[in-house]
Amino acid sequence: MCGIAGIMYKHGAEGFDTGAALIDMLDGCQHRGPDSTGYALYGESHEGQIKLRFFIGSGPEAEASVERVRAALAEHQARIIEDETIAENYRVVVDFKGDLQRFSYAMEHASKLISLGESLEIIKDVGGAHEVDERYHVKQYSGTHGLGHVRLATESEVKPEAAHPFWATGFSDVAIVHNGQITNYWKMRRRLERRGFEFTTDNDSELIAVYLADQMSNGVALRDALGTSIDDLDGTFSFLVSTKDEIGYAKDHLAVKPMIMYETDDLIAVASEEVSLNRLFPGQALDTYEPPPGSFNTWSRST
Amino acid sequence: MVTIDLAKITTREANEKIRDYGAKGEDVEVLNPDARHHIGVGLIHPIRVNVRGSAGYFCAGLSDGARFEVDNNVGWGLGDNMYTGSVVVGGNAGAIAGVAIRGAEVVVRGNMGSRAGQVMKAGTLACVGNANFMAGYMMYGGRIIIIGNSGEKLGEDMSGGEIYLGGSLQSLGTDAKVTDVDGAEIDDIRAFLDRYEIDFKGGFQKIVNAGKNLRYSTTEQQMRSIPFFSFSGSSDYWNPKIQEDIHIKSQIGRYRVRGYGGARELPHLSDLAFKRDVTHAAKVADPVSKVEMHTLIGGKNGANPLDLSMPVLIAPMSYGALSRSTKQAIGIASGLSDIAENTGEGGMSDAQRGAAKQLIFQCLGGRLGWNIHDMNRADGLEIYISQGAKPGFGGQLMAKKVTKELAEIRGIPAGIDLRSPSRHPDILGADDLVIKVEELREATGYRLPVSVKLGAGRIRDDIKIAVKDGFDCVELDGMQGSTGAGGAEIMEYVGIPTLSAIIEALDALDDINCRDKVEIVLMGGIRDGVDAVKALCLGADAVALGTSAIIAGGCIACMQCHVGTCVTGIATQDPEHEKRYKPEVEARNIHRYLEGVRWQIAALTHALGHDAVTSLNRDDLVALTPEAAAITRLPYAPEYRDNQLQKAG
């Protein structure tokens, strides 16, 4: 039960204020989810460099987590380029070449891994859009695109790791925000687990991310994966997905969960409610579009 | 024309101003709306409101008589429940445009989202562009004009009204058909389109209900009269109840629908006992004067609370399931005992409003009888999500009870087997519910407490959602609750016992440390003051009585509530049957019963050593059965079995 938001600046180099834009959009629909807020931000990337973010908690527990992560990195020949502790997160950039899926599962076992990617960083925690920004400085993030999410916990607990966005565990740079409920969750999850995939939560949004990332790793285009997701996933959903260069959406056949979008030559912005889009363009009457039931689409940035 | 700038003030302040200007007859222009929700809700004066930009959810909702114009787009629920007046949108509308309208004219110049016109009753919804999925879903009356193309499933489960389609038909919904259009209808549509300057010269297809699903194909025969106590009490394997059930199914070939509650033995409040010896309670003179019972419900978030002389309410029961005279008698009795009555589904009658001193007005998915004027004269508002007797299912009102008069107040076709929607058009998740609750508060100026009626299901999650969504009070209904008509198997086998419901609810509130954020009114098989005191000891803030109030007013528990020919004149809409019911006499009977409940609550509270009902607590109770002990975590103490007030009485 949530509000979602996504934005992509289609042209030009990195350097748009995606963090600030997402904060505004999520603040606009915070009523849909007062429990927690999260951001998936895509920034500058360098060949061969991987950014990782972990939940480490605080105090001695945090120090122990950082030690475990550092040891695991060393074990996998990942050389630390830079690292820092921000509030209850540990952020580290490493040089790594090798099997990314195996590497990420190992990191996940070392501590609670939030995101992994050349470009992607996920920031999420309990609290509102501005509170999370104050803790993790979301405003300073710039880039070409990103996703955001506000959450009202219905079935699972209110804790940082249950917040969205979800990273597709095991796959670099894939993130998802989702409003709705996948009712064939366990069936789909068992199918993927039998093929060796690991899940770090019982959240249905993680399943969507892994489902899409798996298809893409087999050479399926994101757009086509979104198309099959509408029939393979059962339930009510509106979700946004992003990769290093693309952003996309899918909406179930019953169109129970809201979604509205605004597109110009320069940007695409998607949200649960128009009020979020208007936060980016105060005082303007926007020519918005509500995607029909059972639809999907993708946009890519030109570099 | 006065100007209101939403960049400078909140929507709440803006709505207050709009209503003030409405009362003075001044037109209003709203600047910088920026797709904010609830603009203009609750306006009941015939002024013009121009919204310069886009509006959010429920624009012009719960209004009557005003003329709204929105320059750009609107979100979900455009013109929700609008009586008269009009709203014209220059751009697109989100889902459920024109939901539950009862006479208004709603015009969308762009496209409209899914389920447009859901549960509408009267008036016109017109769309110049294309409609999306399931336009006319469950509509009961009025007309929808779509100049562009339809989406899938046009007219899904419509039971009345007409849809006129200018463009192409993608697909028809269940029980909808295409029929001929006559010249007079076309003339009328043209006049409407001219009035709103919509230029369209093409022809129309007309879509109406096909009439296949409006009534059950076979009617259920009347049961033999097996009194409820023999129906429910026997443990014999092939008892009269089982035989009756088989006989009826052999005739109708489907599931059964009957009245009253489930008849299975379930853990209940009678499986608990008081820890202290209360047998002397009966001997205390005038216990009522010795115990503080005054109870406020619904004031935790700033609304005017219900002010009850004891922690008791009347449970929601509809005018429809019950006769007008019965609702009137219950209303009078509730007033005499100074507690609160509840409309249930199906609207508020003048007789009921006049009779009850404090009245909660219930909002259900079909929006049957729901409207701004009765909201304004209510003392509390309640969103029904489900009920304990049949959680997850909508109400059933058999054709015999859907008389012309009743159909009119509900805004539906007369003589159909009314199967009320099991879910709300605009509440498809906790996130939508937040916006709905806010709409009700905005429309009534934040005066009234807003409660939620929850049939016990996934209580631990649901109660947390209720708190997060800002409800003032939860009316929690367990499986032992009754109903005017429901599937027999559902009543027997679906639900959570009342005893488990209250424990899970309180555990959930403790989980999120919100025990004092919301009040819980427990219902579902509360029979008397003894049950009430046990519920209060467990942690309920009050209880609600339904079946027991009906019985006090003459019900003989024959379980034929669904048939519509109730011999006592209670569960009927037939004037011949209703004639037998004497509301003044039964009001006195119900009142005397309620006073008996008051005495029991006072006597027991006093006997347990307290001088206020708020002091009752878990330490006053033990469990008599292992099941009850497991559910409540009270000490298992079967030796207390004799320690009941009934014995003393």
Tokens representing residue A232 in the block: 């393979």
Shared domain for A54 and A158, answered yes or no, is no
Q: Would you place residue A272 in the very low, low, confident or very high pLDDT band (cuts 50, 70, 90)? A: very high
Shared domain for A53 and A187, answered yes or no, is no
pLDDT value at position B647?
46
Shared domain for A177 and A103, answered yes or no, is no
Test B73 with A32 for CB contact under 8 angstroms.
Answer: no
Q: What is the mean pLDDT of residues B99-117?
A: 97
**Spatial separation of the C-alpha atoms in residues B290 and B450, rounded to whole Å:** 32
Q: What is the mean pLDDT of residues B233-240?
A: 66
Q: Which helix (DSSP H) or strand (DSSP E) does residue A251 occupy?
A: strand A246-251
Q: A170: distance to nearest CA of chain B, Å?
A: 31
Smallest CA–CA distance from B458 into chain A, residue: A155
DSSP class of residue A211 equals: H
In a domain, A23, yes or no: yes
Test B435 with A283 for CB contact under 8 angstroms.
Answer: no
**Spatial separation of the C-alpha atoms in residues B646 and B628, rounded to whole Å:** 20
Q: Would you place residue B641 in the very low, low, confident or very high pLDDT band (cuts 50, 70, 90)? A: confident
Q: What is the mean pLDDT of residues B371-389?
A: 96
**Spatial separation of the C-alpha atoms in residues B55 and B36, rounded to whole Å:** 6
pLDDT of B649 > 70? The answer is no
The sheet with strand A235-242 has its strands ordered as: A166-167, A175-182, A235-242, A246-251, A296-300
CB nearest A275 (choices: B35, B92, B111): B35
**Residue matched to tokens 């209580």:** B459
Test A34 with B468 for CB contact under 8 angstroms.
Answer: yes
Strands B28-31 and B102-108: unpaired
pLDDT of B648 > 70? The answer is no
Whether the CB-CB separation of B475 and B498 falls below 8 Å is answered with no
Q: Which helix (DSSP H) or strand (DSSP E) does residue B451 occupy?
A: strand B450-455
Smallest CA–CA distance from B464 into chain A, residue: A154
pLDDT of A26 > 90? The answer is yes
Whether the CB-CB separation of B409 and B319 falls below 8 Å is answered with yes
Q: Which helix (DSSP H) or strand (DSSP E) does residue B520 occupy?
A: strand B519-523
In a domain, A159, yes or no: yes
Q: Which of A118, A136, A156 is the last residue in one of the domains?
A: A118
Chain A positions touching B77 (Cβ under 8 A) are none
Smallest CA–CA distance from B32 into chain A, residue: A283
**Spatial separation of the C-alpha atoms in residues B453 and A301, rounded to whole Å:** 49
Q: Would you place residue B375 in the very low, low, confident or very high pLDDT band (cuts 50, 70, 90)? A: very high
pLDDT in tens, A199-217: 888 888 889 999 998 999 8
Q: What is the 3-state secondary structure (H, E, C) of B307-324?
A: EECCCEEECCCCECCECH
pLDDT in tens, B545-567: 999 999 999 999 888 888 888 99
**Residue matched to tokens 């059933």:** B396
In a domain, A199, yes or no: yes
Q: Which of A28, A273, A23 is nearest to A146 (CA)?
A: A23
- Choose, from A2, A23, A40, A176, the residue flagged as catalytic: A2
Q: What is the mean pLDDT of residues A42-63?
A: 92
Q: Which of A66, A87, A118 is the last residue in one of the domains?
A: A118
In a domain, A146, yes or no: yes
Shared domain for A132 and A201, answered yes or no, is yes
Looking up residue A103, the CATH number of its domain turns out to be 3.30.70.1290
Would you mind telling me the total number of residues written for chain B in this entry? 649
Test A275 with B56 for CB contact under 8 angstroms.
Answer: yes
Q: What is the mean pLDDT of residues A259-276?
A: 96
Test B434 with A32 for CB contact under 8 angstroms.
Answer: yes
Shared domain for A221 and A286, answered yes or no, is yes
Chain B positions touching A154 (Cβ under 8 A) are 429-430, 461, 464-465
Looking up residue A234, the CATH number of its domain turns out to be 3.60.20.10
Q: Please state the domain count of chain A.
A: 2
DSSP per-residue codes, B537-585: HHT-SEEEESHHHHHHTT----S-TTTSB-TTSSSB--HHHHTT--HHH
Angle, CA of B399, B402 and B408, to the nearest 5°:
150
pLDDT of B225 > 80? The answer is no
Q: A260: distance to nearest CA of chain B, Å?
A: 9
Q: Which of B504, B261, B511 is nearest to B389 (CA)?
A: B261
Q: Is the peptide bond before B497 cis (omega within 30 degrees of 0)?
A: no
pLDDT of A24 > 70? The answer is yes
Test A287 with B37 for CB contact under 8 angstroms.
Answer: no
Would you mind telling me the total number of residues written for chain A in this entry? 303
CB nearest B75 (choices: A154, A274, A279): A274
Shared domain for A108 and A65, answered yes or no, is yes
pLDDT value at position B646?
47
**Spatial separation of the C-alpha atoms in residues B433 and B436, rounded to whole Å:** 5
Shared domain for A114 and A255, answered yes or no, is no
Q: Which of A88, A118, A148 is the last residue in one of the domains?
A: A118
Shared domain for A86 and A161, answered yes or no, is no
Domains contained in chain B, CATH given: 2-209 (2.160.20.60), 295-612 (3.20.20.70)
Q: Which of B409, B392, B388 is nearest to B476 (CA)?
A: B388
Is A2 known to be catalytic?
yes
Tokens representing residue A192 in the block: 């993927």
Helices (H), chain A: 18-28, 59-75, 100-110, 129-136, 185-194, 204-217, 222-232, 274-280
Q: Minimum mean pLDDT among B224-233, B262-271, B507-516: which range? A: B224-233
Whether the CB-CB separation of A230 and A237 falls below 8 Å is answered with no
Contacts of B226 (CB under 8 A, 6+ apart): B240, B241, B244, B559
Q: Would you place residue B460 in the very low, low, confident or very high pLDDT band (cuts 50, 70, 90)? A: very high
DSSP class of residue B338 equals: T
In a domain, A172, yes or no: yes
Smallest CA–CA distance from B94 into chain A, residue: A290
Shared domain for A28 and A54, answered yes or no, is no
**Spatial separation of the C-alpha atoms in residues B412 and B416, rounded to whole Å:** 9
Q: Tell me which residues of chain B have a C-beta less than 8 Å from any C-beta of chain A.
A: 7, 32, 34-37, 52-54, 56-57, 71-73, 75-76, 91-92, 94-95, 111, 113-114, 132-133, 151-152, 428-431, 434-435, 438, 461, 464-465, 468, 512
In a domain, A123, yes or no: no
Q: Which of A27, A290, A295 to mutate to test the interface with B (most CBs of B within 10 A)?
A: A290
ipTM summary value: 0.92
Q: What is the mean pLDDT of residues A86-99?
A: 94
In a domain, A255, yes or no: yes
Shared domain for A76 and A155, answered yes or no, is no
B193 three-class SS: helix
pLDDT in tens, A113-149: 999 999 999 999 999 999 999 999 999 999 999 999 9
pLDDT of B645 > 50? The answer is no
CB atoms within 10 A of CB B378: 23
Shared domain for A37 and A52, answered yes or no, is no
In a domain, A184, yes or no: yes
How many angstroms separate the most distant Cα atoms in chain A?
55
Q: Would you place residue B643 in the very low, low, confident or very high pLDDT band (cuts 50, 70, 90)? A: low
Shared domain for A293 and A233, answered yes or no, is yes
Could you tell me the residue range of the domain that residue A78 belongs to? Answer: 46-118
Whether the CB-CB separation of A213 and A265 falls below 8 Å is answered with no
Q: What is the mean pLDDT of residues B564-590?
A: 94
**Residue matched to tokens 């899914």:** B114
pLDDT value at position B279?
82
CA A194 → CA A186, A216, A234, B224, B604, distances in Å?
12, 18, 20, 57, 61
Tokens representing residue A114 in the block: 């939030």
Test A255 with B7 for CB contact under 8 angstroms.
Answer: no
Strands B380-384 and B450-455: parallel
Percent of chain B with pLDDT over 70: 96
